[in-house]
Amino acid sequence: MFNCLKGMLVTLVSTMHGLRQPVTRQYPDSGNLLGHHPEPTPVKDRFMGFPALTWDEDVQEPFCTSCMVCIRQCPTQCMSSVMKDNPLHEEGKSSRRKIVDSFEINLNRCILCGICVEVCNFDAIVMTHEHEMSDFSRNAIRVDLPILLENGLKFQKETGWIPPTQRAKVQKGGDAAAETTAAGTET
């Protein structure tokens, strides 16, 4: 009898605790019954969503040279690509001799492991924050080059993406760069 009452008391205390602000967030529509948490949970900075290709704003072409490293290293073989000669290189505008002609990722097979990003030598592929791409037909999320570049550009703009190799260079020569800029402002 005593134990029973004690148990009830414990449960009552817990119930009172339960009346605090709910942690449930509505998805995909924002807001819940009490109006808390207007936004669905945001993804973290490092979140690995579907992969996409990046766009070089300086030269107005993709970073990807279709070198096939990511395709060979992918554990699920979900990608394929075709290479072509870069017309901009012939005009002398680009340093890339070859460039991607077509690129396809079968997002049904992709396991979002991020190995492709890690092995890429040209900063050409990123794991975007895109994760809402479900569709009713099986082939709808086999994405090709235009969509990949569009997703990549969206990611670049949202996060202020800097190519990792460039970022590493900036970090390494950080002091030297700071000196030169200081010198530049003086002159």
Partner 1 sequence: MTQISENRTPDAEPVEMLLNMGPQHPSTHGVFRMVLWVDGEKVVDVEPHIGYLHRGSEKLCEGEQYHQVITLFDRLDYLANFNNEQVYCRAVEKLMGLEVSERSEYIRVILCELNRIASHMLFLATMGLDAGAMTPSMICFRGRERIQALFESVSGARMMHNYFRIGGLKEDVPDDFVPQVRDLLKLIKEDTDESDRLLSFNEIFLARLKNIAAISAEDAIDFGLTGPCLRASGVDYDVRKAAPYSVYDRFDFDIPVGLDGDCWDRYYLRVQEIYQSVRIVEQALDQLPDGEVASSLGRRLIRPPAGEVYVRAENPRGEIGVYLISDGSDRPYRIKVRPPSFCNLSALKLMMKDCWIADAVVILGALDIVLGEVDR
In the complex, least distance from residue 2 CB atom to partner 1, rounded to whole angstroms: 11
Question: For residues 82 and 162, which CB has a smaller minimum distance to partner 1 in the complex?
Answer: 162
Question: For residues 86 and 151, which CB has a smaller minimum distance to partner 1 in the complex?
Answer: 151
Question: For residues 17 and 138, which CB has a smaller minimum distance to partner 1 in the complex?
Answer: 17
Which residues of this protein are in contact with partner 1, per CB under 8 A? 3-4, 7, 10-11, 14, 17-18, 23, 41, 43-48, 73, 75, 111-115, 118-119, 127
Question: For residues 90 and 118, which CB has a smaller minimum distance to partner 1 in the complex?
Answer: 118
Do the beta carbons of residue 61 and residue 45 sit within 8 Å? no
Q: With CA atoms as reference, report the closest residue to 117 among 86, 171, 79, 145.
A: 79
- CA distance linking residue 157 with residue 81, whole number of Å: 25
- CA distance linking residue 121 with residue 164, whole number of Å: 10
In the complex, least distance from residue 10 CB atom to partner 1, rounded to whole angstroms: 6
In the complex, least distance from residue 17 CB atom to partner 1, rounded to whole angstroms: 7
In the complex, least distance from residue 75 CB atom to partner 1, rounded to whole angstroms: 4
- CA distance linking residue 23 with residue 144, whole number of Å: 38
Question: For residues 10 and 82, which CB has a smaller minimum distance to partner 1 in the complex?
Answer: 10
In the complex, least distance from residue 65 CB atom to partner 1, rounded to whole angstroms: 18
